[in-house]
Amino acid sequence: EQLLIEEAVRFHNLLELPGKFRSPDQLFIKLIRDADKLDIWRVFTELQNLPPHQRASAATLGFADLPEVVSAACLDSLAAGTIVRLDSVRTLNDLRLLQISWAYDLTCATARKILLERGYIPALAAPLPEREDIGTAVSAALSSLAAISA
């Protein structure tokens, strides 16, 4: 049990899970990862609804809020259905794309259902520039959730 807890904590925020686990129960680790994402989505969507002067800069990791700027690398990753890497994030919009891309990493059907019900993806996408390529990438992420959850 101790090993399971240690691995769940150690692996909860990794980009990719290691191929091997010492603990026999990977499901628990995946549940923790999904719950962590749901919590971050909740916090971040609540945060972006606050006036800029009330936002905790730690929650945005200090990325600049440049409303019309999206990095090509982040958009390309999302459009390809892969997780946006933190080292490619340059702006707050890129961080939104990273968080939207987590939809591709959810493992539990219940987490996907909650994500859809709570509308976190559209909320995260709302401040993004209104561009066809961005809309297509966000729609693909939403469609993948709906297809898997059906």
Beta-bridged to residue 64, according to DSSP, are 91
Q: What is the pLDDT of residue 95?
A: 97
- In terms of residue numbers, what domain contains 82? 2-149
**Residues 82, 144 contacting (CB under 8 angstroms):** no
> Which pTM value belongs to this model?
0.84
Model confidence at 2, in pLDDT bands (50, 70, 90)? low
Query: How many domains would you assign to the chain?
Result: 1
Residue 11 has pLDDT above 90, yes or no: no
Spatial distance between the Cα atoms of 88 and 58, rounded to a whole number of angstroms: 18
- pLDDT score of 16 more than 70: no
DSSP 41-104: HHHHHHHHTS-GGGS-GGGGTT-B--TT---HHHHHHHHTTSPPPGGG--BHHHHHHHHHHGGG
The tens digit of pLDDT for each residue in 92-112 reads: 999 999 999 999 999 899 999
pLDDT over 60 at 82, yes or no? yes
